[in-house]
Chain A
Amino acid sequence: MRMKTKTLYSVAAAGLTACLAVSAPANADELTLCWAAWDPANALVELSKDFEQQSGHTMKFEFVPWPNFADRMLNELNSGGQLCDLMIGDSQWIGGSAESGHYVKLNDFFEKEGITMDDFIPATVTGYSEWPKGTPNYWALPAFGDVVGWTYRKDWFDKPEVQAEFKEKYGRDLAAPETLAELKEIAEFFQGREIDGRKVYGAAIYTERGSEGITMGVTNVLYNYGFQYENPDKPYELDGFVNSEGAVKGLEFYKELYDCCTPPGSSDWYMSENIDAYKSGQVALQMNFAFIWPGVEADPNVGGGKSGYFANPKGPDGHFAQLGGQGISVVSYSDKQDAALEYIKWFAQPEVQQKWWQSGGYSALKAVVEDPGFASSQPYAQTFLDSMAIVKDFWAEPAYASLLLAMQDRVHDYVVAGNGTAQEALDGLAEDWAEIFEDEGKY
């Protein structure tokens, strides 16, 4: 009995101590972080438990699937809603969110807390944080570095009979392609082939028309064929850059790739459809954002050395890849801005960023990616570094949504529906964009 009482006291005392240790401070807040519903978001939930313990604040998460993410969250911001205290918004939103006052400007906060943008990969600072681009006005902290790259079935590539047939046909070894032309040859080679008793196809590429899919796909080819968003010397001059001779060839290439080498019915595919096709053994190559790579490695069908990774191959006029990823911002309508800034301060710490990378998030902090052990820390780490060195992003103008949807319509109409020519599609795009910029008062 005495023993029992003693144990009871001990447990009570330990419980009380634990309660005191983790009890929330008087000004503890419940913060809501809004982001897309995908694997990295789940990793962030786990990571944020450390923040909850350290700060006493509690974290709530509002995740929306990608296809509805922009609709849902931009509605929230445009209506001045207070659902989100922290927003990991898409990189294209920066311009509109900064000009419309949705995000808190972070310059003073960064200065006060000693957070410097020099510590982050330059492309991510430009892509996720700055508005206007190229100026030191920061509206977000780079949160998740992402880029379009490629995954391939290494186990299929390594088959001796496949290797031999490829070498005989193309006169070179079957390996990860270095150019877009090589990529197309490989995709053509696998299209309709029988592997392990199943009919397989060449490549899963982005073709989705509703949100941003086909644009995020086709730009990986267009950039490398000479497409430019505007005259580098004269902003918003589009003609001859958007629809340059090279850009037309690039668009024709993407259509050829779609026609020759994709699975039937892949007319509206984006991230999740490509993942499904790849994991289920339908395709040899998969175009997708880098965020999926940890999931590929962990998958029993395609992980554990069965997959290889390579950066978007170069084209005749350049070597670029489409930037993805997001920065984390404090929503100006939040009444818990101090606590939200605390979260950003915590998230910017090198040890947290290191843990972020280890748990499946892509850190954009130089201290993490430039660490000597980084490149060999995961099978895809070097590809991530190579890809982040060649990124280019879509317009981040306040009118980005109109610009994006115009491109979606024009490109999908040509590539998937086969209407008109590539020249007509890009001429039309240049006209659409000029009209949008005219409405914006840019001319």
Chain B
Amino acid sequence: MIVAKPKPVEEVARLIDSCDNILIVACGGCATICLAGGEKEGEILATALCSWREKQGRTINATVTTITRQCELEFVTDIAHQVKQVEAIVSLGCGVGVQFLAEHYRDKLVYPALNTIFAGGSVQPGRWEERCGLCGECMLHLTAGICPVTRCAKNIQNGPCGGSQNGKCEINPQLPCAWHLIYEKLASLGRLDIMMAYRPPKDWSKGKSGGPRSVKREDATQR
């Protein structure tokens, strides 16, 4: 899933300083699951913005609504009647959600209330970690299911680099060295031969270096 983190309330308050009537749009998808932008966070943000304004001797009208997923047009269109009544939208969706709202509601500015960080998952309650860099050409079969594109600080293909010590990455003693993990798993499987094989330069054009990407499925375009 996409993992995001709320921007500090003061930052959001400053972003929307010129608006007195806003619609806060929470997202029922990833943003809810990573506890950043669900219905509950929407209510909390609304309350926080109101009290921020109060302290300045001003008021704000902040309505909260939640849509199933901001990254799907059919849900985005659901709130047209609410959008009509406000000056601006504050999105609690990821960057995709913000853009879908902005693309659909062309006469309104949409403000992001989250910082979108990575594609990853929850490894323990309250802790999420990055797992995929969306490189467009998955090589996990060569790396024991551990992604060097995201989990190695230098996205090395023939690791580990000379900075790996005691299983940790050179950039942070708390961080496991991805290539050390790959080594341990392949060694335990008796498959170090996979790691010995030279990996040629990666084709980054399949990832974001190739420009904005899209996926088309002919069998699904008829819907």
Task: State yes or no: do A and B come from one complex.
Answer: no
Q: Name B's A-contacting residues (CB within 8 A).
A: none
